[in-house]
Amino acid sequence: MSVYLLRRLFQAALVMLAMSVIVFIGVFAIGDPVEILISPDADQIERERAIRALGLDLPLWHQYLVFLGNALQGDLGRSFVFNEPALQLILQRAPATLELAFGATFIALLIGIPLGLYAGLKPKSPISSTIMAGSILGFSLPTFWVGLMFIMVFAVQLGWLPSTGRGETAEFLGMRWSFLTRDGLAHIIMPAMNLALFKISLVIRLTRAGVRETMLMDYVKFARAKGLTESRVIYVHVFKNILIPVVTVVGLELGSTIAFSVVTESVFAWPGMGKLIIDSINVLDRPVIVAYLMMIVMMFIIINLVVDLAYSALDPRVRLENK
Amino acid sequence: MSATTAPTTPPPAVKPAKVETPFRRLVSEFCESKLALFGLIVFIIICLLALFAPWISPQNPYDLAQLDIMDGRLEPGTVGGAGFTYWLGTDDQGRDMLSGILYGLRISLTVGGGSAILACAVGASLGLLAAYAGKRTDTIIMRLVDLQLSFPTILAALMILAFLGKGVFNVVIALVIVEWAYYARTVRGTALVERRREYIEAAQCLALPTHRIIFRHLLPNCMPPIIVIGTMQIARAIALEATLSFLGLGVPITEPSLGLLIANGYEYMLSGKYWISFYPGIALLITIVSINLVGDQLRDVLNPRLKK
């Protein structure tokens, strides 16, 4: 196990290093920051001073080594636009994104499980076919367009919910959160619902498949034979067993929910990490782009590592195969 | 079910038209689902509309001489200054939305379809190579696939476009890089099973060149999963392109796809001018759903496990 762990950690570090080279060179290739950041009327001396201050006069490999050395100390450069450390800028916006992602996951479970349960228990009923057709629609609908339609219906026409922004926030654990205030809660419902749409469809399908499989199990038959009420059989015996795969998949999906929040945040002007990266790409704020990509790559490498390790701990075949 | 597949003494060529080829069987099985047939018809209509857009759309939305800024943001059904009715309204430039959508469909379908075909060519070739060569080649290719699939598509595409910048060609590159891994993984799985069959062994005994064995013998037998994934991936590519264009990272403003049309209407949404974003979105939705309906049925028809 420890050999496997070491090998896997080494692989993760290697992928991280390779990604840092790709990201750095890639971002370097997109354009000349001098043109964008230094005013065109600046004279030669001013230009040179600015170039030196930003470290843009060094050769590329030297810039990379400086970047790598600083990155290992948690310094991913300063934003050209905000003139703040890039990492700090991103971490400030992390609570907003995390709040949105967890909200969406919560909604997906809250809506998806009951609907999936119903569709699995009564597969022939017309309501079930409606639910399943709805879940196909949930997979097909482009997220950003649904977000716009939400704004159109609930904010513009009905005026029930605020259209954009995060609303009032309250402090908790040293960070600002929306879900603790009434106004903030009103702001988060639409974006979270929008982000949840795809997950709801996923949860419905998983739950339905799980129910249909579990209903045929011997322990369900036994529970019935014992004379338990149908509701106790379903809510205690079946429900607990379908919950394990559903929660596992939804947990694994958390990473991609954070990634997809880029779209939702742009639609609802939600001030999270995703909105920041899109804005930064548009003004070519290199340090922020690099810092965001490195952070998200690291997050995915860690998620994948944890998943692999968890599987190998649970299933010895995975370990043996990698020998 | 027809039992004509039984190989017992074929009747002496009565009507050659009735011979059941694999293609004909596929067609008849596909048509068993009315919904899938409907999806296919809708998709063909959409393709025709896009193809003939210059002849059927009321105006050329790229020709600034035809646009009248006084007709800007008119509601659907208004008769404009030029004398014809804007059935789906106009955008801020006074552009007819119906024409904009028809031309936008051309770009969305070209980018989506083109990138799916390119990704298919790259992914299927690498998948076949991995399965046929095995050993180290297999390990390297599949590691790349794993790496690619461990990142969400939107993130990988975002990263690539952040490097390359906007543009139709760059979007196609980004979509190909994001999607090839799906083909490679599926094709490798099928090819691994197929390459152990006798016909491959026979081809090897005939000392045929490797590329001939791979492309003439192995590839045709791996086609069913490629077709299914290809259909689904076209829908995914169109949706992803629309999303990227909406975020302002996709096609340039001179070649507006459906996603960009929707993005243009965003700012007018808050003042109640819904049609600029609404109708392009409906067009996008119909396109994606019709492709998915076709893909769903193809998966059922081509899946050997569901055959009786």
Query: Which residue(s) pair with B86 in the sheet?
Result: B78
Mutate to test the interface with B, among A36, A281, A301 (most CBs of B within 10 A): A281
The alpha-carbon gap from A156 to the nearest alpha carbon of chain B, in Å, equals: 6
Domain segments of chain B as ranges: 33-306
Per-residue pLDDT of chain A (323 residues; tens, 9 = 90+): 677 778 878 888 888 888 888 777 777 666 566 665 666 666 777 777 777 766 666 777 777 787 777 777 777 777 777 777 878 888 888 888 888 888 898 999 899 888 988 888 887 888 888 888 888 788 778 888 888 888 888 877 777 777 777 766 666 666 667 666 777 777 888 888 888 888 898 888 888 888 888 888 888 888 888 888 888 888 877 887 787 778 777 777 888 888 888 888 888 888 888 888 888 887 777 778 888 888 888 888 887 777 777 766 666 665 555 54
Mutate to test the interface with A, among B33, B149, B150, B258 (most CBs of A within 10 A): B150
Which of A143, A162, A169 minimizes the C-alpha distance to A265?
A143
Mutate to test the interface with B, among A20, A144, A288 (most CBs of B within 10 A): A144
DSSP structure string for B183-237: HHHHHHHHHHHHTTSHHHHHHHHTT--HHHIIIIIIHHHTHHHHHHHHHHHHHHH
User: For B33-306, which CATH superfamily applies?
Assistant: MetI-like (1.10.3720.10)
Query: Which residue(s) pair with A255 in the sheet?
Result: none
Question: Pick from B154, B239, B296: which is nearest to A259 by CB?
Answer: B154
Question: Residue for token digits 């149908």?
Answer: A230
Kindly tell me the burial class for residue B211, based on how many C-beta atoms sit within 10 Å of its own C-beta (0-12, 13-18, 19 or more): exposed
* CA-to-CA separations, B177 to A158, B172, B223, in angstroms, rounded: 42, 9, 21
Tell me if A30 and B165 make a contact (CB, 8 A cut-off): yes
Size of interface A-B (CB pairs under 8 A): 106
B147 — pLDDT class (breaks 50, 70, 90): confident
ipTM above 0.85, yes or no: no
pLDDT of residue B2: 45
CA angle B13, B18, B21 (to 5 degrees): 100
Cβ neighbours for B128, distance < 8 A, ≥ 6 positions apart: B187, B188, B191, B214, B215, B218, B219, B222
CA atoms lying within 13 Å on the CB side of residue A283: 14
CA angle A116, A120, A124 (to 5 degrees): 120
What is the three-class DSSP state of B90? strand
The alpha-carbon gap from A5 to the nearest alpha carbon of chain B, in Å, equals: 18
Q: Are strands A175-177 and A170-172 parallel, antiparallel or unpaired?
A: antiparallel
CA angle A24, B178, B111 (to 5 degrees): 115
Question: Residue for token digits 């390990």?
Answer: B139
Question: In B13-57, which ranges are E strands?
Answer: none
The alpha-carbon gap from B11 to the nearest alpha carbon of chain A, in Å, equals: 44
**Angle between helical axes of A254-267 and A182-214 (0-180°, round to 10):** 140
pLDDT digits (tens, 9 = 90+) for B42-63: 889 988 888 887 887 777 777 6
pTM for this prediction: 0.80
pLDDT over 50 at B1, yes or no: no
pLDDT over 80 at B274, yes or no: no
